[in-house]
Amino acid sequence: MKHKKLALTLGALIIAALVLLFSCRKINEATTLGGDLIPVVDNIYTFDTSLDVFAYNDTFSIANDTTRYDNSFTHFLGQINNDPFFGKTDAKLFLELKPPSFKYTFSDVADSLHLDSVVLILQYVQTFGDTIPDQTVNVYEIPQNSDFGDTTYTIRQSNYPKGALLGSRSFSPIVLNDSVKAYKDTTVNQLRIRLSDAFGQRLLNYDTLTSGGGNGAYVSDSAFRSHFKGFALESVSGNAIMGFDLLGANTKLAIYYKDDNGDSPVEKWDTTVAYFTFQPNGYSFSANYMERDYTNTPVAATAGGAEPDDVIYIQNTPGTFATIKIPDLPNLSNRIVHRAELIMEQIYDVSDTLFPPAKLYLDAYDSSVPAFRAIPYDLSIDASGNTNLSSFGVNPLNKQDSAGHNVKTWRFNITRYVQHVVNDTEPAYDLRLSSPLYYRELYRPGPVGSTSTFANIFVNDAIGNGRVRLAGGKPVNGAQRMRLRIVYSKI
């Protein structure tokens, strides 16, 4: 009898342990943000609740988008003409390529040089959009009366004028990672555009040592800029934007020419190549202009409305954002907040395979300043300027929606901020959801009243690359909706 009771007791303990383990796994898997452990929701000591969220679509204007682009970022070129939700994108590229040094010369006897060809080469990085439809890229000379290189503009303003057409190429972006074989240059990931022979000959004629007629274009950097301002590139077709690395070894102007060796037979002429490259540290100037056109799109139809939106449209810089309000948050009674997650899910569409999302970011609007600030307590910056963006929740997680489609979900960890709100030690802000390259915004490591400073917070690696549709506060496709989930204990 004793053995029977002992067996029943052990069995009950094992079953209880399994139930507890399953419950722990269930709650921890549902709130995975860096693997933090939180108590089991047993509705005796620990509870959970979801607060309604209201989200409002809007777009960044030129006035409130102050993004400036450094030459170390990927620069985009191309056109998107058929995004069913976000309309059109036009990306233009402007850059200078220069000799490796000044005073520069091709040869001691400039009039012995004979041009073969001149080719503009850009180091390819990635394509955002459809890689199949042709892009036709035109290369122009930037006019001398342009202020390109004399000042800097934001990505919404850097649309410099174009002068003479120097060359053009039509191609499908899918070929850009093919192997290329050229004189002294066999590699992959190149966009090569042959420019006019007249332009190439002009560069040869600029040689500073031309006897009697030299115009001194290669004497100095300023002299060269006074003769050639730079290149303006634009696409006139396609459904993608292509990214290029200006600082890469394969971004260059290749000038192929022969030296006649004092009028020796043609078959003995020496073939060689000179490279003009992008010179960093301020010696070469670049600009990336990007324009969005939302005409006749759902973005245009919902942006700036007074009513909350069921579908939220977030597009990478320069793009869109959503204002998020949680009206019941200030009314929560004091409690111990174990986890507070702002949860949002992607709404599937077949076009997402061509236009996938980027990282999302959440910050707060402080009307007392007024300015945007990083989420207090939950977004942290260490002494070296490193942020906890990953554990904060900017990276999407993979899941399946009710129809079995693979979609992305975001869970922003705003636990400490919510705890301070329910403690009445922090105001409940309106929040902003977006997909920026970076923000320069207020950061306050301490409580209300402590000093705030402006900090640069870099979220994505480039502009233009990413967009997503999210379920708003009203359920979409069954269970999908944006919400604030709180796991808590009563005091």
Contact between residue 316 and residue 465 where contact means Cβ atoms under 8 Å apart: yes
DSSP state of 2: H
pLDDT reading at 20 higher than 70? no
Asked whether residue 360 carries a pLDDT value surpassing 90, the answer given is yes
pLDDT beyond 80 at 189: yes
Length of the chain counted residue by residue = 491
Dihedral sign of CA atoms 29, 30, 36, 37 in order: negative
pLDDT digits (tens, 9 = 90+) for 71-93: 999 999 999 999 999 999 999 99
What is the H or E stretch that residue 223 is in?
helix 221-227
pLDDT-derived band at 11 (thresholds 50, 70, 90) equals very low
Out of 121-130, 278-287, 452-461, which region has the weakest mean confidence (pLDDT)? 278-287
pLDDT at 438: 96
pLDDT of residue 89: 98
pLDDT value of residue 106: 84
The string of pLDDT tens digits covering residues 318-353 is 999 999 999 999 999 999 999 999 999 999 999 999
Q: How far is Cα 55 from Cα 309, in angstroms, rounded to an integer?
A: 6
Backbone φ and ψ for 352, nearest 5 degrees, come out as: -65, -25
Asked if 317 contacts 435 with a C-beta cutoff of 8 angstroms, the reply is yes
Q: Are 335 and 488 in contact (CB under 8 A)?
A: yes
- Per-residue pLDDT for 35 more than 50? no
Q: How confident is the model at residue 479 (pLDDT cuts 50, 70, 90)?
A: confident
What residue type is assigned to position 97 of the chain? L
* Confidence bin at 215 (pLDDT 50/70/90): low
**CA neighbor of 414 nearest in space, from 400, 435, 428, 399:** 428
Which is higher by pLDDT, 276 or 449? 276
In the prediction, which pLDDT does 33 show? Answer: 41
Residue 327, pLDDT score: 96
Determine the pLDDT at residue 23: 36
Q: How far is CA 456 from CA 101, 385, 438, 439, 443, in A?
A: 34, 9, 7, 6, 9
- Residue 66's pLDDT band, with cuts at 50, 70 and 90, is confident
pLDDT at 27: 40
Q: What is the percent of the chain where pLDDT is above 70?
A: 87
Mean pLDDT of 107-116: 72
The whole-angstrom distance between residue 437's C-alpha and the CA centroid of its chain comes to 5
The pLDDT of residue 422 is 96
pLDDT band at residue 266 using 50, 70 and 90 as cut-offs? low
pLDDT tens sequence across 131-178: 999 999 999 999 999 999 877 789 999 999 999 999 999 999 999 998
Say which residue, 4 or 483, is predicted with more confidence.
483
